[in-house]
Amino acid sequence: MADNSSSNAYWAANIKTIKIFLVIWFVCSFGFGILLRPMLSGIGVGGTDLGFWFAQQGSIIVFLILIFAYAAKMNKLDREHGVEE
Amino acid sequence: MDQFTLNLLIVGATFALYIGIAIWARAGSTAEFYAAGQGVPPVMNGMATGADWMSAASFISMAGLIAFGGYDTSAYLMGWTGGYVLLAMLLAPYLRKFGKFTVPEFIGDRFYSKTARLVAVICLIVASVTYVIGQMTGVGVAFSRFLEVDKATGLYIGAAIVFAYAVLGGMKGITYTQVAQYVVLIIAYTIPAVFISLQLTGNPLPPLGLFSDAKSSGQPLLTTLEQLVTDLGFKSYLTQSDTTLNMFLFTVSLMIGTAGLPHVIVRFFTVPKVADARSSAGWALVFIALLYLTAPAVAAMARLNLINTVYPQGAAAAPISYEARPEWMKNWEVTGLLKFEDKNGDGLINYVGAKDANELTVNNDIMVLANPEIADLPGWVIALVAAGGLAAALSTAAGLLLAISSAISHDLIKGQLNPGISEKGELLAARISMAVAIAVATYLGLNPPGFAAQTVALAFGLAASSIFPALMMGIFSKRINNKGAVAGMLAGLTITVVYIFLHKGWFFVPGTNSFTDADPLLLSIKSTSFGAVGALVNFVVAYFVSNASAEPPKHVQDLVESIRVPKGAGAATGH
């Protein structure tokens, strides 16, 4: 294992990344898809509204982008902190 | 060639393919496979995870539930995909670094307690057995249709095949068999969807077709569908009828249940590196998303086709007569999953929203399988869908049965009751537990607590309330100790099981329930959504019990430190 101070900084950076990504994750699924849907009702998408699109399609696309972005970001953090395999 | 022969031929051919690959892969690379799937690139691993993960619930049942539930059922789509984000960020890389093979092993080591490991085994078994009941429901539907027998007979035949398949054992574990199963199931799911999307909207891509104009009306497809269902008195397809609270909790429950299901988590233990665990989750979701982006289109189009079949002149005109019903309705009547009852004696199929006037009952679970027949697609497509549904159900059922049997033989018997057991004895115990699990699931599958996807949703609630919080706290907190984890898991599991049994009957025996999901005990929270509440209880109990007792010993805190950084991960060991 790397020295403690470095791995603590690494862990703190990881936690910060996770928090940002979870906010996006939440807003695009629970937010736009469920809780905020009434606010998006004015924006039409193919016979329905944007909230319906997020609930049945948009959220899944966002999830995909999030995972790959997280993997890339963590690979970079691994290298910066010298903790990669 | 008639449809029955075609079904047998295509289903038989896919089975021959799986067995062929199993034999081929075995001959060359047994050693490689047991060395933790090294050399299996993340893309392949993702595909295999997709096959493992997408079960009868995803393939056979989900689009049917959406077809009849509309927007309210979006929770299935978001819940069963959003969990992968949690897996990739909160669990998979750290569990890979930990480097053992089973989930109870991690819980036992992290919480330095045999009791914790035992409780994890119990949670795993309860969630997995419930999950298998859902698979048996789906298998029963698929077999009853394509062998043209009634539902119960289909279920018995399915159970026998699942048993033979799972006992073959190694077959399921070989990644390349699962890659083949994935390819079969995704082709079987998308080809009819492309045909139907072209027929209805002219757009060959179903996810785009869903939001395109319908050829018949020139209006958007969803507007056309909404118009029809509301004219006939069904509940709206586009607006929300469920409460926001229940929909929210249901989505949470499915998401964290996904991240807590042992047979999915173990796939990430066997990738070569920690970085691969993260990207494997992404690739798994790519292959899962191919089906999940198609499913809402399949749902809306199947519903539209169903209504158009019954009302060829539009909702304002008279429906078709029972005598003039199409061939596919006759086929499904044989299984008992589609029923017509001429309540007003006019000989017409009055398919309407009002319960006392409606004469056509369509089981949600038949929609995907019947879809190509309803759309009048060629016979080989119909047979392909049957093969795809069986691939989905069998691969997942086998994976779950292996998880159950390894929990009993490896974690329970070898780890606790009888450490000196011989390898042969361990294997026998594994087979017996598998047989018992299938027997229980088949019996309960005869009177399932819901449609396949609903039963599976209950399993996710159980995993969400018990395993996910323990894993997450084990990684992200150094303070949670043995007592906290055990109390948390027991509290979360117990309260969720009791809530489910109060609504679905004790041990799912029909008639022993005190409440129904239409009028639930607590606010508007249905039993399928309660896993989220159970998880919260688990977190809170674990936190307070841990803080009231001694902190974990130094070596456990060091273990937590070490799983947080990728460096120094060896190959997975411990089996």
pLDDT per position as a tens digit, B284-341: 999 999 999 999 999 999 999 999 989 988 888 888 888 888 888 888 888 788 888 8
Of B77, B88, B568, the CB nearest to A70: B88
Of A1, A30, A70, the CB nearest to B251: A30
Residue tagged 């393939």 (tokens)? B59
CB atoms within 10 A of CB B317: 8
What is the per-residue pLDDT across B220-239, written as a single tens digit (0 to 9) for each?
999 999 999 999 889 999 98
- Residue B83 makes CB contacts below 8 A (sequence gap 6+) with B254, B255, B256, B257, B258, B259
- Decide: helix, strand or coil at residue B101: coil
What is the per-residue pLDDT across B413-428, written as a single tens digit (0 to 9) for each?
877 787 887 777 777 8
What's the number of CA atoms in the CB half-sphere (13 Å) around residue B414?
21
Q: How many CB pairs under 8 A join A and B?
A: 144
pLDDT top residue among B358 and B509: B358
pLDDT bracket for residue A84 (50, 70, 90):
confident
Spell out which residues of chain A touch residue B564, defining contact as CB-CB under 8 Å. Answer: 7, 10-11, 14
Q: Record the tokens describing residue B312, joined without a space.
A: 């060829």
**Contact at 8 Å (CB) between B135 and B61?**
no
CB contact under 8 Å between A71 and B567, yes or no, is: no
Which of B10-14, B207-211, B267-271 has the weakest average pLDDT?
B267-271
- Decide: helix, strand or coil at residue B60: helix
pLDDT value of residue B148? 78
Spell out which residues of chain B touch residue A29, defining contact as CB-CB under 8 Å. Answer: 78, 82, 251
Q: Record the tokens describing residue B303, joined without a space.
A: 């519903």
pLDDT value of residue B26? 55
Mean pLDDT, residues B185-214: 91
CB contact under 8 Å between A78 and B275, yes or no, is: yes
CB contact under 8 Å between B565 and A2, yes or no, is: yes
Find, in chain B, the residue whose alpha carbon is nearest to that of A2: B567
Delimit the domains of chain A by residue range: 4-80
Of B78, B244, B567, the CB nearest to A2: B567
Measure B293 CA to nearest chain A CA, in Å: 6
pLDDT bracket for residue B432 (50, 70, 90):
confident
- Judged against a pLDDT cut of 50, whether residue B189 lies above it is answered with yes
Could you tell me the sign of the dihedral formed by the alpha carbons of B395, B138, B386, B151, in that order?
A: positive
pLDDT value of residue B67? 92
DSSP state letters, B324-359: G--HHHHHHHHHTSEEE--SSSSSB----SSTTT--
Which one of A30, A39, A49, A63 would you mutate to disrupt binding with B, by most B Cβ within 10 Å of its Cβ? A63
Domain annotation for chain B: domains and CATH numbers: 42-318+372-563 (1.20.1730.10)
- Judged against a pLDDT cut of 80, whether residue B573 lies above it is answered with no
From B445, B347, B356, B334, select the one nearest B393 (Cα to Cα): B445
Q: Rounded to the nearest 5 degrees, what angle is found at the Cα of B228, between the Cα atoms of B225 and B232?
A: 140
pLDDT value of residue B168? 62
Spell out which residues of chain B touch residue A2, defining contact as CB-CB under 8 Å. Answer: 565, 567
| CB burial readout B130-140, b (16+ within 10 A) else e | bbbbbbbbbbb
Mean pLDDT, residues B534-550: 94
Longest dimension (CA), chain A: 57
pLDDT bracket for residue A68 (50, 70, 90):
very high
pLDDT value of residue B257? 92
Of B212, B278, B289, the CB nearest to A71: B278
Find, in chain A, the residue whose alpha carbon is nearest to that of B285: A64
Residues paired with A48 in a beta bridge: A45
Q: Name the interface residues of A facing B (CB cutoff 8 Å).
A: 1-2, 4, 7, 10-11, 14, 18, 21-22, 25, 29-30, 33-35, 37, 45-49, 52-53, 55-57, 59-61, 63-64, 66-68, 70-71, 74-75, 78, 82-85
Q: Record the tokens describing residue B430, joined without a space.
A: 């594994």
- Decide: helix, strand or coil at residue B233: coil
Measure A36 CA to nearest chain B CA, in Å: 11
pLDDT value of residue A20? 96
What is the per-residue pLDDT across B335-381, written as a single tens digit (0 to 9) for each?
788 888 888 888 888 898 888 888 988 888 888 888 888 888 888 88
DSSP state letters, B548-573: TSPPPPHHHHHHHHHHTS-TT-----
H or E element in which residue A49 lies: strand A48-49
Read off the DSSP letter of residue A44. Answer: E
H or E element in which residue B361 lies: strand B360-362
Measure A43 CA to nearest chain B CA, in Å: 14
Measure B559 CA to nearest chain A CA, in Å: 11
CB contact under 8 Å between B244 and A34, yes or no, is: yes
ipTM over 0.90: yes
Find, in chain B, the residue whose alpha carbon is nearest to that of A52: B71
pLDDT bracket for residue B569 (50, 70, 90):
low
CB contact under 8 Å between A63 and B82, yes or no, is: yes
SS (H, E, C) B490-546: HHHHHHHHHHHHHHHCHHHCCCCCCCECCECCCCCCCHHHCHHHHHHHHHHHHHHHH
What is the per-residue pLDDT across B80-104, written as a single tens digit (0 to 9) for each?
999 999 999 999 899 888 877 778 8
Spell out which residues of chain B touch residue A20, defining contact as CB-CB under 8 Å. Answer: none
Spell out which residues of chain B touch residue A70, defining contact as CB-CB under 8 Å. Answer: 85, 88-89, 278
